[in-house]
Each structure stands twice: as C-alpha cells, then as structure tokens.
Amino acid sequence: MPEHSFILNGERVTVDAGDDERLLWVLRDRLGVTGPKYGCGIRVCRACTSHLNGREFNPCSVPVSKVSAEDRVTTIEGLPDAEDAGDGELHPMQEAWLERDVVQCGYCQPGQIMTAVSKVREARAAGREIGEEDLAEIRNICRCGTYHRIREAILDGARRMG
C-alpha cells in the first residue's frame, strides 16, 4: 500500500493507505482521530469539516493522495493549538460554544465549530468581520436544530478571537 505523509494537528504523520482512500477514513480508522464525524461521505452534511492549511474542507471528499507532505490538516482535536487560539485550554470559539450551551446530541458540533473558525478567518482575510451574509453561507446540517445558538456562538466566538 502506498505511504502518505502530511502534518496532522502540528505533528508529522505517515500512513499506509490506498491512493483513493478518502482522508476522513484515514483520519478516523487508521490514525484514530475521531473528532471529524461521518455523516454522508459526499460533502453534503459537513459533519466531517476540518481545516486544510487553516481553511475549512471536507475530508470525506478528498483522496489521501491529494494531500501533500507539507499540507497542514487540523481537526477539532488540534484547534486549541491554532495560531488564533490564544493561551487557553480551548479555542475561543469552543469557549463561546460552551458558554452558550449550543450542543444538543453533539454529533454535528465539531464540524460546526471548524466551519465557524474558518468563516471568521475568511472574513478577516478580506478585511472585515463576520456578518449575517457569512452565516447564511454555512451549510453544516444539525439534525437537532441548534442553528439559532450556533449563530449566536459564532458571533460571540469571533469577538473572543480578538
């Protein structure tokens, strides 16, 4: 089986996997990183949302062979060590989530938080703060219907990100 190497949550990992194997299964089944959840496998539910070089992506739809040696993959497990995380045990977006008691069953929530952080970064890269239009673009599905609290937490988390 071919060998694949990339940076995962700040550490280099090397893994044997078929070229076509999707990164989500490499993360979960071969590397034991289970924060990114499986929902659909076809980039619809966004439960698997993680970051590739700091921006949101869906590892269920990316063959591991498309990830290069210097690519940085970050899952919810590595978010507290991100550059915009500050010194706390959790990323500010996670703190906002906890304070607002967003979670119901929890299944979609790692993906929701990873999308939220990416949206804040995208807005700031464009020289502005996250707003309603950005929130309206988010496609992560929550079967528990926590959307209202998610939106409040994203705005709160953005303020905490400084």
Please report, as ranges, the residues that interact with ligand FES according to CB under 6 A.
Answer: 38-41, 43-48, 58, 60, 103-109, 142-144, 146
User: Measured from the CB of residue 79, what is the shortest distance to ligand FES in angstroms?
Assistant: 17
User: Measured from the CB of residue 20, what is the shortest distance to ligand FES in angstroms?
Assistant: 16
In terms of CB distance, is 12 or 143 closer to ligand FES?
A: 143
User: Measured from the CB of residue 144, what is the shortest distance to ligand FES in angstroms?
Assistant: 3
Sign, Cα dihedral of 100, 105, 107, 108 = negative
In terms of CB distance, is 149 or 160 closer to ligand FES?
A: 149
